[in-house]
Structure 1
Amino acid sequence: MDVIRLHAYGPAANLRLETLPDPVPGPGEVRVAVRAAGVHFIETLLRQGRAVGPHPAPALPAVFGSEVAGVVEAVGEGVPAGLAGRRVVTGAASSGGYASRAVAPAGSLTELPGHVDDGVAVAMVTTGATTFGLLELAPVGPGDVVLAMAAAGGVGSLLVQYARRAGATVVGAAGGPAKAARAAELGAGLAVDYREAGWDKRVREAAGEVTVVFDGVGGELGRAAYGLLGRGGRHVVFGSAAGEWFFPDAGEAAAREVAVLDGIGHLLGRDGGTADLRARALEAAAEGWLTPLVQAFPLAAAAAAHAALESRDTMGKVVLVP
């Protein structure tokens, strides 16, 4: 099979296409012929040998990726033979998803309706589930003014769509005019480029006080977004695309009656895991009322995909296609 492996920590160019024997599914496992595999920003940090939260630097050689969609082509002991030939998606590929074949626990599979695209399925199985988890933590509806940071990203683009459907006033902030325009197309009533000086002032003048911030960016941009919240607002932290997390000072937030909510902590500590969130996300995609942005790269171009993520030149969910 074709596989992307990392033999040394460092730049994206260290990701190399190799040929390895097909993995063999063990008891309770299946082998999936991969049609799309998900790529996460966190993997660009792990590739450099950095530990990220609960994720340690990987042992080398490493194959990244846990999200794959494709067709079951072989089953291990104890797995019903009828699974073979089914189109499925999983977020638990144990052999690594950056490959043309991957092994995963049979219990982790979700069968896909015929009309759901493989890339869409990969986008929703984790990124979509994350979105629903954040909205569970900070529900939105009519009367809310929602600021979605990184609004053309995987989670941000889904938050924009959901918040608009829920009746909220939606502000989408993204890096660059093309991304801001995409946020507007997705339903943001106001879309701004946060690379421009004074973007936060523009939001304040046009939208008034923000009631909910979804911050997947962090750094000074996260700080500026926090400054737009009115009394009693909610600041949901779920990412650090700017290179550092931003959590507001607890005393200051309390004085402003702002609730600071840890989105990733909520997802990791959620009773019962996130299987129900994955199901809801995939159902929303199947029904067509949430449409993830998907940017595909050939499997052989995994290094280019990582480089594009690091330079913030992507929109939506990045997937690799063998």
Structure 2
Amino acid sequence: MDAIRLHTYGPAANLRLETLPDPVPGPGEARVAARAAGLHFIETLLRQGQGVGPHPAPELPVVLGSEVAGVVEAVGEGVPAGLVGRRVVTAEVSTGGYASHAVAPAATLTELPDQVGFGAAVAMNTTGATTYGLLELAPIGPEDVVLVLAAAGGVGTLLVQYARRAGATVAGAAGGPAKAARVAELGADLAVDYLEAGWDKSVREVSGEVTVVFDGVGGELGRAAHGLLGRGGRHVVYGSASGEWFRPDAAEAEARDIAVLDGIGHLLGRDGGMAELRARALEAAAEGVLTPAVQEFPLAEAAAAHAALESRDTMGKVVLTV
């Protein structure tokens, strides 16, 4: 099989395309002929040898990635033979996702609706499920004024779409004029470039007091967004793309009656796990309720995909195609 393997921690250029033996599914496992593999920012850190939360630096050599969509090609002992030929997606690959073939526990495979393509499936399986989990934590309706940071990203684009359908007033903030233009195309009432000074003032002038912030960026941008919340507002923190998690002054938040909600903690600790959220997200894609933004790179260009992700030069979910 074709696979992208890392032999030495370091820059994106260290990712190499190699030919490896096809993995063999063991008991309870299935081999998937991959058509799309998802990338996550955390994998750019693992590539550099950094452990992230519960994820230690990987042992080398390694094929990174855990998320693929494709067609079941073979099954191991105890797995129904009828699974062969099914279009599926999983986020629990055990052999590495940056490859033309991958093995995963059969119990983790979700069959795809006919209307959902492989790239969209990878996007909705994670970013879609994350979106629904965050909305579960902070439901929104027509009375809300919602600010989405990183609104041109995978989760951000879905949050903007959902908030618009819910009737909320939506402000989307993204880095650079092209990304801000994309947010405007999604239907945001206001799209701003948060690389420009005074972007937060523009949000306040146009949208008034914000009731909900969805923050996957953190750092100074997270702090600026926090300042836009009115009394009783909700600040949902689910990422630190800036390199720094947003942590408000607890006394100030309490004085303003602002709830700071841990999106990642909610997703990890959710009763029943993520399976229900993934099914809901795939159904939303099949019905056209939400359309994921996907930026594709061929498998052989995994290094370029990593470099683009690190430089914030991507829009939507980054996917390797096989």
SS state of the match for residue 130, structure 1? Answer: helix
Output the CA distance in 2 between the equivalents of 1:117 and 1:186: 20
Number of the residue aligned with 2:271: 271
> 1:214 maps to which residue?
214
Correspondence 1:314 to 2:319 = no
Alignment correspondent of 1:289: 289
Equivalent pair of 1:234/1:258 in contact (CA under 8 Å): yes
Distance 2:233 2:105 in 1: 41
What is the distance in 1 between the residues matched to 2:112 and 2:131? 20
The number of aligned residues is 322
Partner residue in 1 for 2:161: 161
SS in 2 for 1:72: strand
Q: Which secondary structure does the structure 2 equivalent of 1:23 belong to?
A: coil
Q: Which residue of 2 aligns with 1:186?
A: 186
Compute the displacement of 1:113 (Å): 2.0
Contact 2:113–2:282 (8 Å) recurs in 1? no
What SS class does the counterpart of residue 234 from structure 2 fall into?
Answer: strand
**Paired residue type of 1:83:** L
Secondary structure in 1 matching 2:64: coil
What pairs with 1:215-254 in structure 2 (closer than 5 Å)?
Answer: 215-254=215-254
**In 1, distance between residues paired with 2:281 and 2:114?**
16
* Distance in 1 separating the partners of 2:8 and 2:250: 40
- The CA RMSD over aligned residues, in Å, is 0.7
Matches within 5 A, 1:30-109: 30-109=30-109
CA distance in 2, matches of 1:160, 1:247: 24
CA displacement 1:286-320 (0-9 Å, x = unmatched): 10110000000000100100000010000000000
Structure 2: distance between partners of 1:113 and 1:204 = 41
Matches for 1:116-195 after TM superposition, within 5 Å = 116-195=116-195
1:12 CA drift (Å): 0.6
Instruction: Report the identity percentage.
Output: 84
Amino acid at match of 1:213: V
Identify which range, 95-104 or 108-117, moves more after superposition.
108-117
Shift in Å, 1:115: 2.0
Once the two structures are superposed, residues 186-239 of structure 1 have per-residue CA deviations (whole angstroms, 9 ceiling, x without a partner) of: 121100000001000000000000000000011111111111101110001011
Of residues 24-33 and 41-50 in structure 1, the stretch that sits farther from structure 2 once superposed is 41-50
Amino acid across the alignment from 2:286: A
TM-score normalised by the chain length of structure 1 = 0.99
Q: Give secondary structure in 2 for the equivalent of 1:252.
A: helix
> Where does residue 115 of structure 2 map in the other structure?
115
Which residue identity is paired with 2:17?
L
Contact map agreement 2:113 2:283 (CA 8 A) in 1: no
| Deviation by residue 1:257-306 (Cα, 9 ceiling, x = unmatched) | 10000100111111111110001000000101100000000001001000
Preserved CA contact (<8 Å) 1:4 1:16: yes
1:132 match: secondary structure = helix
Corresponding residue SS for 1:148: strand
2: CA distance between counterparts of 1:135 and 1:115?
24
Opposite residue 20 of structure 1, the aligned amino acid is L
**Displacement of 1:114:** 2.0
Q: Please say if residues 37 and 98 of structure 1, whose CA atoms lie closer than 8 Å, have aligned partners that are also in contact.
A: yes
Gaps of 5+ in 1: none
Runs of 4+ in 1 over 2 A off after TM superposition: none
- Specify the alignment match of 1:199 in structure 2: 199
Deviation at 1:67, TM superposition (A): 1.1
What is the distance in 1 between the residues matched to 2:241 and 2:84? 39
The residue type equivalent to 1:112 in the other structure is: L
Contact persistence 1:145–1:211 (CA under 8 A): yes
Asked whether the 8 Å contact 1:294–1:316 carries over to 2, the reply is: yes
Give the drift of 1:62. 1.5
Q: Amino acid of the residue matched to residue 197 of structure 1?
A: A
Name the aligned partner's letter for residue 123 of structure 2.
A
Q: Is the 8 A contact 1:237 1:247 kept in 2?
A: no
Contact 1:176 1:193 in 2 (8 A): yes
Give TM-score, length-normalised by structure 2.
Answer: 0.99
